[in-house]
Amino acid sequence: MYSKFQKVYVLCPIGTKTGGTELLHQLVYQINNIAHKQIAHIVYLGNLNEVKPAQAFKEYIGSDWLTLKDIEDNNNNVVVIPETSLMEFNKFKKAKRYIWWLSVDNFYNTNYFSRLYRQYGAIHTLSGYLKGTFKNRTKYIKQADVNMYQSYYAKDFLKNHGIPETNLDYLSDYVNDLYTTNVNTALQHTKKDIVLYNPKKGYEFTSKLIAASPSLDWVPLINLTNDEVKEKLISSKVYVDFGTHPGKDRFPREAAISGCCILTDKKGAAKFSEDVRIPKEYKFEDKDENISKIIEKIRFCLTNYNDVIKDFESYRKYILGEKKNFNSDCEKIFFIGE
C-alpha cells in the first residue's frame, strides 16, 4: 500500500470526549497502522492554554498531536475537516480538503455559537462572526475535494445539496474494542429486567415513557466510565434511544453487541436501515399516541428476551465487521494498492 499523501492532518476539537472525537483519533491510528509509519496526525483546535487533550484517546495517538500552525499546506497533503469545524476550511489553500460528515444535525445546530464560544473563546468567536469567517459554511460542501460520510443519513443530505456520487466516499466507524472483545461472554452474561437509556439524548420523550411505566426498572447511562457502561449493557435486556440520531450513533451498537434489545425512534440516521440495522418493528415515531405501544414492546422484550434477542443477530454480526470495513474504506480513500 502506498499513501496518496505525504501527510494526513485530522482536525479535532480539543478536550472533548464524544463518539465523534474518538472516531477522529481512530482514523489517525488506522492510517498510520496501514502505512506502517506515522503520516497521519491529530490537529487540536481550541485554546490549548485552557483545555488539555482528552486522556482517553492516548491509546490511539500516544502523546503525538499538532496545532493548526504545524500544518504544512502543500499539494502533497490532505486536511480532514469534521463538519463542525468548517470555519477552518479556507485556511488551507493548497492541501486537499476532505470534509468528514460525522453528523448532519450538528451542522445546523442552534447552539453553534455557544459551541464556538467554548472552543475558541469569546473574542475569537465574535471576531469570526464580524469578519464573516463563520458564515456561509454551506458553500464549502461543494468546494471540498471529497465529502466523506459516516452515515447514509449524511449521504442523503449531501446528495440533496447537489454533491455528485463521484465526490462522495463512505467512511463509517467502529465501536471500541472494549465492546467487541469476548462478545460471546457478554451475550451469556446474566441479564436483568433493566431498561437502559441515555438521558442526554431524547430525554423529553423518554421521560414520558418512564412516567407511563413506573413498574419498569429504568436506568440512565450517565457519569460512568467505559468499563461501567459495559457492565450496565451486558447486565441489561433493553436499551432505548429516542434521540435525534445526528449520525450513526455508537450507543445503540454498543448496547446491541452487549446483548441488549434495541428500540429507537425514526429520526435522523435511525430512519435509514443501513445505519440502524434493527427490524422495523423496533422503531417508533416518538409521538404520545405511541407511548403505550412502545411500553408494550419493551415489556415483550423483557418477558421473551431469549427469543427476541435473536432478532438482533444480523445487527450484531454487522457491528463485529465494522472495524474490518473501516480499514478497507481507509485504504480506498487514502492509499493506492500495490
Neighbour count for residue 63 (Cβ, 10 Å): 6
Higher confidence at residue 110 or residue 2? 2
Instruction: Give the confidence band of 111 by pLDDT, cuts at 50, 70, 90.
Output: very low
**Out of 58-67, 118-127, 151-160, 249-258, least confident range:** 118-127
Condensed to tens digits (0 to 9), the pLDDT of residues 185-201 reads 888 899 999 999 999 88
Q: What is the mean pLDDT of residues 229-234?
A: 95
pLDDT at position 277: 97
Question: CB-based burial of residue 157 (10 Å sphere; 0-12 exposed, 13-18 middle, 19+ buried)?
Answer: buried
Higher confidence at residue 138 or residue 62? 62
Q: What domains can you pick out in the chain, each with its CATH number?
A: 2-171 (3.40.50.2000), 177-320 (3.40.50.2000)
Question: Which residues are CB-neighbours of 111 under 8 A, at least 6 positions away?
Answer: none
- Give the helix/strand (H/E) hosting 158: helix 152-160
Distance separating alpha carbons of residues 29 and 38, to the nearest angstrom:
9
Condensed to tens digits (0 to 9), the pLDDT of residues 254-302 reads 999 999 999 999 999 999 999 999 999 999 999 999 999 999 999 999 9
Q: What is the mean pLDDT of residues 42-59?
A: 81
**pTM of structure:** 0.87
Instruction: Give the confidence band of 136 by pLDDT, cuts at 50, 70, 90.
Output: low
Instruction: Give the confidence band of 56 by pLDDT, cuts at 50, 70, 90.
Output: confident
**Cell numbers describing residue 153:** 443519513
Q: What is the mean pLDDT of residues 71-91?
A: 95
* Residue reference for cell 449520525: 247
pLDDT at position 12: 95
Instruction: Give the confidence band of 116 by pLDDT, cuts at 50, 70, 90.
Output: low
Distance separating alpha carbons of residues 242 and 204, to the nearest angstrom:
9
